[in-house]
Structure 1
Amino acid sequence: MNFNNKKVLITGASRGIGKATALAFAEKGATVGINYRSNTEQAQKTCAELPGNGHHLFKYDVSKKEETEALIKDFVSHYGKLDILVNNAGISIFHDIDEVDFEHWTNAWENTFKTNLFAVANTSYWAAQAMMKSGGGRIVNVSSRGAFRGEPTKPAYGASKAAMNAMSQSLAKKLAPYKIYVGVVAPGFTETEMAAVTLTSAERENLLRESPFQRMAQPKEVAHAVLFLASEGAEYASGTIIDVNGASYLRS
């Protein structure tokens, strides 16, 4: 895969899957815009690690609809075009229905959907406007196996990702005549910095038992699937949802 001269915007790209995806695109010749919300130091470190030149930081909170428009317009103003958008930013909040109060419950739903669904819808809207003017592009959304298997301790997370999948497939149909191709990557639990900090030993053991590989996904494995959907030659895969979960959850 060759992404020379391609301008790529990745949301939530300062660490984890977003960082791995930024590195993967840069290694293949792309110029990468790293979107992040608050951790400037981490974003700067990630940007400094990218091979090649011209990479840039874009500090915007995509959960705020007015900032999604500003982000895309800033990116296009800086680079002249937007070839590929990767919607990776997401949050996950525990809200067990049998344990939390109603305020916690409703806040979890509202905040999760703002970032995991509405932000994706809004950045996709503004990206599509730019791509229609420039002759096409790619949008790749990062979902989760939780969209299919359910998330009993984080139902808003599973629901938001399921809605993202449906939206992505709708956009794949609508945007195809404009040569804008939309795909989804649905990872299982991935070995990120956050996982290393938040997982207990018992939780980690349970996760390892879920896959016949007896390990979690590496961020670069998820990034590989993102790059495939964004690559030239993958146009007819528009609307596809690629599972990257190590056979931990198989859907028919």
Structure 2
Amino acid sequence: MNLPATGRRVLISGASRGLGRALAQAFADNGDRVAVHFGSREEEARATLASLAGEGHVLVGGDLSDPAGAADVAGRAAAALGGSPDVLVNNAAVNLPHPLADTSYEDWAALWQRHVSVNLLATANLSHLAARGMIDRGTGGRIVNIGSRGAFRGEPDHPAYGATKAAVHALGQSLAVSLAPYGIAVASVAPGFFGTERVAHRLSGEEGAAIRAQSPFGRAGTAQEIAAAVLWLASPVAEWASGTVLDLNGASHLRT
């Protein structure tokens, strides 16, 4: 299997802002060509596209919660990049509050369905589509899933988020075993709290102090730190990390 170190075709789901933007920038800086996926935030996705170094990057919109939509996104990304991706980063996710005691049954059921459709099923469907292309091409590849610390420590106000991220970790490990014979390595990262423009307001005042106190380093993580770890997991030298779930939480939650 001959996976190049640079110049790869990379599909990043949910890349319009935040971590998705940092991921796109990291791969572009590495010399790869990136398909920037967005669901509804086209203007922000175009800003991400404009920020990328190098050439050959493309914008692909579409609803990943629908299997047909996921297939359409994968197909258009492959057509625009000149072939199916060498690297898939499953970053698209929803994280909507729904504490049980304060959520009606109707809202509870709807929010669970939404989290499962986007966080888990879209990840599974894009992984199938990308992996089939890698298998058919015969050159191997990489799939990296964005999970969460919440899969291990619990998310009392966001239980569907925690549960679906735990499922994403398990999915990645299952695929790591099944796809290894084809030279495809699959890994996940489990970030703790990290700063983006979407959550910047939470890092001020008492809430910000409490978030920073979660880590003995006394700070929150950065999207760039998460992106750097993903870039390594997607590299040719990281094949032996296939199946791992890499904690990226500044020692704020230690698993045994």
TM-score normalised by structure 2 residue count: 0.95
In structure 2, what is the Cα distance between the partners aligned to 1:53 and 1:83?
17
The reply to whether residue 181 of structure 1 matches residue 185 of structure 2 is yes
In structure 1, what is the Cα distance between the partners aligned to 2:127 and 2:164?
16
In structure 2, what is the Cα distance between the partners aligned to 1:203 and 1:62?
33
Match among 124, 127, 132 for residue 130 of structure 2: 127
2:203–2:211: 8 Å Cα contact kept in structure 1?
A: no
Match among 84, 103, 106 for residue 106 of structure 2: 103
Unpaired runs of 5+ residues, structure 1, are none
- Report the equivalent of 1:217: 221
2:203–2:209: 8 Å Cα contact kept in structure 1?
A: no
In structure 1, what is the Cα distance between the partners aligned to 2:233 and 2:224?
14
The reply to whether residue 41 of structure 1 matches residue 76 of structure 2 is no
Per-residue deviation, 1:81 = 2.9
- Report the equivalent of 1:154: 158
- RMSD in angstroms over aligned alpha carbons? 1.3
Report the CA distance shift for 1:103/1:203 in structure 2 as closer, same or farther (over 3 A): farther
- Could you list the runs of 4 or more consecutive aligned residues of structure 1 that deviate by over 6 angstroms after TM superposition? none
In structure 2, what is the Cα distance between the partners aligned to 1:105 and 1:206?
28
**Greater Cα offset, 198-207 or 150-159:** 198-207
In structure 2, what is the Cα distance between the partners aligned to 1:199 and 1:233?
36
In structure 1, what is the Cα distance between the partners aligned to 2:52 and 2:204?
32
- Report the equivalent of 1:204: 208
SS of aligned partner of 1:5: coil
The reply to whether residue 164 of structure 1 matches residue 145 of structure 2 is no
Cα deviation, 1:58-103, whole Å, max 9, x if unaligned, reads: 0011111111111111122222231000000111011111111111
Per-residue deviation, 1:242 = 0.7
Letter in 2 for 1:90: A
Where does 1:2-151 land on structure 2 (aligned, <5 Å)?
3-78=5-80, 79-135=82-138, 136-151=140-155
In structure 2, what is the Cα distance between the partners aligned to 1:76 and 1:204?
41
1:3–1:25: 8 Å Cα contact kept in structure 2?
A: no
Report the CA distance shift for 1:95/1:60 in structure 2 as closer, same or farther (over 3 A): same
Aligned length in residues: 251
Per-residue deviation, 1:204 = 2.1
1:8–1:84: 8 Å Cα contact kept in structure 2?
A: yes
Per-residue deviation, 1:199 = 6.3
Per-residue deviation, 1:197 = 4.2
Per-residue deviation, 1:231 = 0.3
The reply to whether residue 239 of structure 1 matches residue 238 of structure 2 is no
In structure 2, what is the Cα distance between the partners aligned to 1:11 and 1:198?
25
Q: Percent sequence identity over matched residues?
A: 47
Letter in 1 for 2:65: S
